[in-house]
């Protein structure tokens, strides 16, 4: 894991490629500009327009083979089916953007693994290999940040061809549509017409008296095309390129069960869960003897009654609840008996008031610019893709556009500084999977719930960290790095301090990181982390932490109560 100390982490870290089993394409359309702008924009993202927007399959061309993508993880899993569904949405004149979703699903046949089942026990024990991930050599000059100015959203829009050099960008009054500021797009920023200086997009907005800390809807291209739509087009192309990328390892057969322990990532004699594909070593879960009868892993066990949730043979009427923040599962009847409120109309559910406070606190911080000294600011990002409910609210879509494209920039940086690591069982490239918050039926590579915190200066990403918060119990931070140009300047320390303050405000008790052996002392001496105690190891064995082979967990206590 990276820090502001240059510890040659890029030679010892790994990254992993995306699931191509999952497909869900988010596309957006502007309804604010002239009709020809709307039609052109729709064509760019694969939509046709009239009074209603029809959605169909869109293959797209993707990116250049040499393109790079920023690092950070986000995870959302969608199973695929062969043909796309067609949906229509009414255009509303007062909406700036219309969001539409195309889901296509492809199911690959999987072969059942051989299992040992006794007459009196349905617990499975299997012999498998390890999830040790193959190392590859670094691309692009050993992880050096060759061009720091490319760590901006604007540079990515130019790289992807959505914007062109010297294109006119405007800041408009949305009520009167009058142009308040105007400039030209350059590689280094916006060349402002009024002051003849090249400035970042953030400074360009401030120059036009925009003082808010959330995404801006006032930016337009000279053609009338909203800048938010440009961001969404670039994200759509990135999404298609990632999902359509060929596998980088050959998967001989996709087993019904995972080949590696969900706690340590190694193979061997593994205990199989009767509710999900996860497998575990007995010792990793502190189980003394082989369980009799059906056995369910901690993630598939009702936290109230202790029996399995979402069993394969369960009837559809056997409703299960999963907390949106701590990811624990419950039987609905058990939750009702305990007096836990259940709102079936909502697409989110939290098991306790504590989890609800953490969840709402995080949602309120997504995309919010937090100003620091010396021209720095940090932002909490989370990827939003087609699995989310469609919102037509202008502010939500602008937030989605800005967050997703900043994550593209963050992923590009991570891929520069970490060696790629591909899971041999699933073919998943872990870093894009994590940065983009994508899920998987294999819990070990299910990275749903990850956020990325980025530190920026003049809109350039200079440090970042991936974090996932499991209720108020623990937050994990498996990956972090700093641009080489800004190392040994205390940049990551400032980002880590901001993250810790946020976690403390949410009453999260502990922060856990993954460290390679050569950086353990740096984390302990320089950042105040410590080894896990035995009681910590036992409690964390029930939490779905990201498995990074070759690393060890360190902790920092944040809140006692």
- pLDDT, tens only, 486-535: 999 999 999 999 999 999 999 999 999 999 999 999 999 999 999 999 99
Which pLDDT does position 318 carry in this prediction? 52
Q: Which of 206, 207, 159 is nearest to 187 (CA)?
A: 159
Cα end-to-end distance, the chain, whole Å: 29
Q: Is 228 helix (H, G, I), strand (E, B) or coil?
A: helix
Percent of the chain topping pLDDT 70: 68
Residues pairing with 241 in the sheet:
none
CB neighbourhood size of 313 (10 A):
8
For the chain, give the mean pLDDT: 74
**Cβ–Cβ under 8 Å, residues 225 and 30:** yes
Task: Give 3-state DSSP helix, strand, coil % of the chain, rounded to 5.
Answer: 25, 25, 50
Asked whether residue 62 carries a pLDDT value surpassing 60, the answer given is no
Question: Where is pLDDT greater, at 214 or 410?
Answer: 410
Confidence band of 247 (pLDDT split at 50, 70, 90): low
User: Using CA atoms, how far apart are residues 445 and 436, in angstroms rounded to an integer?
Assistant: 13
Asked whether residue 98 carries a pLDDT value surpassing 70, the answer given is no
CA atoms within 13 A on the CB side of 270: 29
**Cβ–Cβ under 8 Å, residues 326 and 355:** yes
Residue-wise pLDDT tens digits, 155-214: 999 999 999 999 999 999 988 989 999 999 999 999 999 999 999 999 999 888 887 777
The three-point CA angle 45-78-253 to 5° equals 120
Extract the tokens encoding 236.
Answer: 């759509």
Question: Where is pLDDT greater, at 359 or 14?
Answer: 359
**Cβ–Cβ under 8 Å, residues 450 and 436:** no
Question: Where is pLDDT greater, at 25 or 515?
Answer: 515
Percent of the chain topping pLDDT 90: 45
Confidence band of 251 (pLDDT split at 50, 70, 90): low
Confidence band of 249 (pLDDT split at 50, 70, 90): low
CA atoms within 13 A on the CB side of 402: 25
> Would the pTM of this model clear 0.85, i.e. be above it?
no
**Cβ–Cβ under 8 Å, residues 324 and 359:** yes
User: Using CA atoms, how far apart are residues 408 and 162, in angstroms rounded to an integer?
Assistant: 14
Q: Is 235 helix (H, G, I), strand (E, B) or coil?
A: helix
Give the contacts of 314 (CB within 8 A, at least 6 positions apart). 320
Q: Kindly report which listed range (37-51, 170-184, 236-250) carries the lowest average pLDDT score.
A: 37-51
Which pLDDT does position 64 carry in this prediction? 34
| Segments in 252-376 forming alpha helices (H) | 332-337, 353-365
């Amino acid at each position: 894991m990276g820090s502001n100390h240059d510890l040659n982490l890029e030679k010892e870290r790994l990254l992993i490629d995306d699931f191509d089993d999952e497909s869900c394409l988010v596309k957006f359309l502007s309804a604010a500009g002239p009709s020809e702008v709307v039609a052109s924009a729709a064509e760019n993202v694969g939509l046709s327009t009239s009074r209603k927007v029809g959605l169909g399959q869109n293959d797209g061309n993707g990116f250049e083979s040499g393109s790079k993508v920023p690092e950070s993880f986000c995870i959302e899993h969608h199973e695929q089916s062969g043909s796309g569904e067609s949906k229509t949405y009414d255009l509303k004149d007062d909406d700036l953007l219309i969001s539409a979703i195309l889901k296509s699903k492809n199911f690959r046949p999987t072969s059942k693994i051989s299992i040992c089942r006794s007459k009196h026990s349905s617990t499975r024990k299997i012999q498998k290999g390890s999830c040790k991930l193959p190392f590859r050599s670094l691309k692009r000059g050993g992880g050096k940040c060759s061009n720091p100015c490319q760590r901006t959203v604007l540079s990515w829009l130019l790289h992807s061809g959505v914007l062109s050099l010297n294109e006119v960008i405007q800041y408009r009054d949305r009520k009167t549509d009058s142009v308040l500021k105007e400039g030209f797009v350059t590689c280094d920023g916006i060349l402002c017409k009024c002051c003849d200086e090249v400035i970042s997009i953030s400074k360009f907005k401030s120059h036009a008296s925009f003082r808010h800390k959330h995404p801006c809807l006032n930016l337009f291209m000279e053609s009338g095309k909203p800048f938010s739509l440009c961001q969404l087009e670039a994200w759509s192309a990135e999404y298609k390129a990632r999902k359509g990328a060929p596998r980088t390892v050959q998967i001989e057969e996709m087993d019904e069960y995972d080949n590696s322990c969900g706690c340590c990532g190694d193979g061997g004699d593994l205990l199989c869960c009767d509710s999900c594909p996860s497998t575990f070593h007995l010792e990793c879960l502190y189980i003394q003897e082989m369980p009799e009868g059906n056995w369910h892993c901690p993630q598939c066990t009702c936290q109230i009654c202790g029996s399995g949730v979402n069993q394969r043979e369960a009837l559809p009427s056997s409703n299960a609840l999963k907390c949106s923040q701590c990811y624990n599962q419950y039987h609905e009847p058990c939750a009702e008996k305990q007096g836990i409120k259940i709102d079936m109309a909502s697409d989110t559910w939290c098991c306790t008031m504590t989890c609800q406070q953490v969840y709402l606190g995080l949602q309120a911080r997504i995309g919010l610019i937090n100003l620091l000294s010396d021209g720095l600011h940090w932002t909490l990002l989370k990827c939003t893709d087609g699995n989310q409910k469609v919102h037509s609210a202008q502010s939500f879509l602008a937030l989605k556009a800005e967050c997703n494209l900043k994550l593209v920039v963050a992923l590009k940086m991570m891929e520069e500084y970490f060696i790629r690591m591909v899971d041999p069982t699933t073919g998943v490239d872990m870093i894009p999977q994590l940065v983009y918050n994508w899920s998987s039926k294999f819990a070990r590579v299910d990275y749903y719930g990850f956020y990325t915190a980025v530190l920026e200066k003049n809109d350039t990403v200079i440090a970042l960290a991936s974090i996932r918060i499991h209720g108020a119990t623990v937050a994990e931070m498996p990956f972090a790095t700093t641009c080489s140009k800004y190392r040994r300047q205390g940049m990551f320390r400032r980002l880590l301090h901001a993250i810790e303050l946020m976690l403390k405000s949410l009453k999260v008790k502990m922060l856990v990181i993954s460290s390679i052996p050569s950086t353990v002392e740096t984390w302990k001496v320089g950042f105040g982390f410590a080894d896990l105690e035995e009681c910590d190891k036992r409690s964390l064995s029930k939490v779905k932490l990201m498995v990074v082979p070759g690393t060890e967990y360190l902790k920092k206590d944040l809140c006692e109560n």
